[in-house]
Chains A and B, each alone.
Chain A
């Protein structure tokens, strides 16, 4: 069974850092691009960042470029996003997504709250 499980969310002060992780199972992890998608409270979906299966190509939304770094460890089936310089507007549920259709899988999300 395909599963993706996010972890690492929490409360962080403005300007702070946080690293989210996503543990994948049930599929050949290195064969799939992965993405992070976030959803601020009461708002729509915002694609944040993506990475190719090999990890050789990375992509970012303009809103996070230069502050977020996506990476993956294919030996451990893990996806990460390192977030620095966090702002109040980064407050959201962050979803890990197997970026494929029709085989698209979403985790249940992890909440990041940026507040003093």
Chain B
């Protein structure tokens, strides 16, 4: 069973700053990694799939990279609506584990 570890747990930043979130897998997931954004009281929203492909409607300020065991989600310049919790999920095989999440909060 693959375990995903996200860091940091919390990221305190100001609007306009750059956010860098990390997700590490306990074994290779190739490029089968997705990133989700969840705002309070809402279902998660798919941001990135296949490690670096933006989902429909996701702004270009969101980018992602990585393969194998190390992945990064970058928000180039934080907008007020980007303050939320972000989860990675491996889609290489079953079970489809999630990371524990990174909360991006306003500093």
Contact = CB atoms under 8 A, between A and B. Distances in A.
A104 B56 CA distance: 11
Interface string A13-39: 000000000000000000000010100
Interface string B90-107: 010011111111000000
B43 interface: yes
Nearest to B101: A44
Interface residues of B, number: 25
Interface in B68-107: 85, 87, 89, 91, 94-101
Interface of A: 35, 37, 44-47, 50, 59-62, 95, 99, 101-102, 104, 106-109
B87 A45 contact: yes
Interface of B: 1, 34, 36, 38, 43-46, 49-50, 53, 55-56, 85, 87, 89, 91, 94-101
Nearest to B50: A101
Contact of B89 (A47, A62, A95, A107): A47
Contacts of B55: 101-102, 104
B104 to A, nearest CB: 14
6 contacts: A44-B101, A45-B87, A45-B101, A46-B98, A102-B49, A104-B55
Identify which of A60, A102, A107 gathers the most chain B CB atoms within 10 Å of its CB. Answer: A102
B96 A50 contact: yes
B98 A107 contact: no
